[in-house]
Amino acid sequence: MPINLTKGQRIDVGLTKVGVGLGWDPNQATGPNYDLDASAFMLANGKIPTEEYFVFYNNKLSPDGAVQGADDDRSGGNSEGGDDETIRVDLSKVNQSVTEIIFVVTINDAENLKQNFGQVRNSYIRIFNDLNGDEIAKYELAEDFSIETAVEFGRLYKRDNKWKFEAMGIGYKKDLSFFVDKYSANVNVIK
């Protein structure tokens, strides 16, 4: 039976191959489509070891083969109630120096389009068994992120040689380049 997580709650993953499903529904509006992007930052000592450990729409596979990025759903309308973007993780392949994988969702060109997470509903992150699709846990954002344009949804992290998941739900009024700067110095983000 899947667990409904609250912000800050942590669970043991207990699997090797997991899927990280991220979902959202943009409010119906007359403006342009909402292009939300899911990214994964594989961290060693709080930083990505090299730019290839930043998995996003222009780099869909980590160099260790552990994290496979999502296809970019540029409208948020392709899922019909399911995950909009899915990132697959094989924890047995994660580089030994990597102890944390943070999952971030950003709204592309949010400032110019005057878009924010307050205009998006039903946002969630879920962890599932990638071998059979069984959901392990789900965290639904309950906060009203009325000015935020990016959210750290959750993270996988390693403690005592075991992988765990934490529901984060931390919003920022920033874009993807903010997280690139936060976790690394010289990574180029071009869409």
CATH number of the domain enclosing 55: 2.60.60.30
Residue 191 lies in a domain: no
Threshold 0.85, pTM exceeds: yes
Question: 123 — phi, psi (to 5°)?
Answer: -80, 135
Average pLDDT per 10 consecutive residues for the chain, totaling 191 residues: 90 95 78 84 94 94 95 54 90 96 93 88 92 94 84 95 95 92 65 41
E strand map for 8-148: 10-12, 17-26, 36-43, 54-55, 67-68, 85-90, 100-107, 120-129, 135-140
Query: What pLDDT, on a 0 to 100 scale, did the predictor assign at position 190?
Result: 41
The length of the chain, given as a count of residues: 191
Domain-embedded: residue 173: yes
| Number of domains forming the structure of the chain | 1
Is there a contact between 138 and 4 (Cβ–Cβ < 8 Å)?
Answer: yes
Instruction: Please measure the distance between the N-terminal and C-terminal CA atoms of the chain and give it in whole angstroms.
Output: 39
Q: Given this model, what pLDDT does residue 55 score?
A: 96
Full domain range(s) for residue 61: 3-183
Q: Considering the domain boundaries, does residue 41 fall inside one? A: yes
Per-residue pLDDT, 4: 93
